[in-house]
Structure 1
């Protein structure tokens, strides 16, 4: 999807004018599953959630039917519930409804916030991928999204990144809007700090945790987020 933001480019010097608004809640960690959640992944998830504060976990699998996806999701959903971590389903409003998930995260081609709200109810957390577009983010907010996600901020091996976002986008969004924003794309403990400083409310991380020792990675993120 080739998206050109009709609002035009942001001034790259904009972000230099701002520090994080510490009246906003502290930035939190939002884990995104690897595509393969079979085998011992449930144990890895429990280790990660036991290692430090995590706000949400996104269940993201591809190319399997809803029945198989639900069977994989249910034990992970129980682990999240026991840890008081929001369980968010990627892409599928129908699967989120079937599971009674805490919410759904939608790409631009996966449905809209109003449809998700109608199906999932008033308390569901609805997130929308907005890539590097202020226009799409404002549309998502007007449509009733609970958060918008920007990225990719760094090169990522998790998916093909067609859009590159600059941290200045986080500064602009958090200065103008109260709606939470999520930074995603290639985030690790070593490169996360500029995104937190720019104004990200959540860091969405997949390979940065599951690509190695998940407990050590969560602890390292916790150190970055408490600064």
Structure 2
């Protein structure tokens, strides 16, 4: 049996206005099935504004069977009937999110470089854990640095899927794929240039890993 390939978990830029819905559709289509999750990550907006921006993006994801995950905000995820929520360490409890969002929701938890936090998240009912940053990121400040052996250990010991995050580009993603990450989370590497070219480059590198 061949191992399933690593998939792409796209994270939005902070500005999703203007032509961003078209860019999202192009990026997902360029992956030909490789982009399986999209995280809606906006800051400093009230729920009404955020919901208005989310609506076209959520529709694009639904048409393409891509999971639509809301970053940090259980209430917004519930309002949008999103496919799930991603929680940082200070953003709430996976068990509470499960109660609010239901059994089918995908709940992810940021675990930095910590096996302990990841195991705790799993016990609390998370559906996936995110490790990172693996490289310096242009998208957000990185306090924690994770090493490849964490991914290797996790993929051998635990069935829960892992997401690798932080400064990942087509040029540096292969070791992460080989170490056993189930998903690579990417943002700046896609949105800071031509999204179609970037996603195709990721596809080639993942396939070659």
Equivalence for 1:49: 28
Distance in 1, Cα, partners of 2:175 & 2:93 = 30
Which of 152, 164, 175 is the aligned partner of 2:133? 152
Do residues 29 (structure 1) and 15 (structure 2) align? no
Between the two structures, name the one with larger relative contact order (CA 8 Å, sep ≥ 6): 1
Unpaired runs of 5+ in structure 1?
A: 1-21
Deviation at 1:117, TM superposition (A): 0.3
- Listed one character per residue, the Cα deviations across residues 53-77 of structure 1 (whole Å, up to 9, x for unaligned) are 2110000000111110000000000
Which blocks of at least 5 consecutive residues in structure 2 are unaligned?
Answer: none
Alpha-carbon distance, 1:25 to partner: 2.7
TM-score by length of 2: 0.97
After superposition, the C-alpha distances for 1:104-128 in whole angstroms (9 at most, x for unaligned) are: 0000111111001000000000000
Q: What SS does structure 1 have at the residue aligned with 2:184?
A: strand
Partner of 2:194: 213
- Counterpart selection for 2:19 from 33, 40, 43: 40
Rounded to whole Å, the distance in 2 between the matches of 1:198 and 1:69 is 36
Change (3 A) 1:186 1:49: same
RMSD across aligned C-alpha pairs, in angstroms? 1.0
TM-score, with length taken from structure 1: 0.89
Q: Counterparts of 1:39-188 in structure 2 under 5 Å?
A: 39-52=18-31, 53-188=34-169
- Change beyond 3 A, Cα 1:122–1:71: same
Deviating above 2 A after TM superposition, structure 1's stretches of 4 or more consecutive aligned residues are 22-25
Q: How many residues align?
A: 206
In 2: Cα distance, 1:190 partner to 1:211 partner? 15
- Match for 1:202 among 170, 179, 183? 183
**3-state DSSP of counterpart to 1:123:** coil
**C-alpha distance in 2 between matches for 1:24 and 1:166:** 22
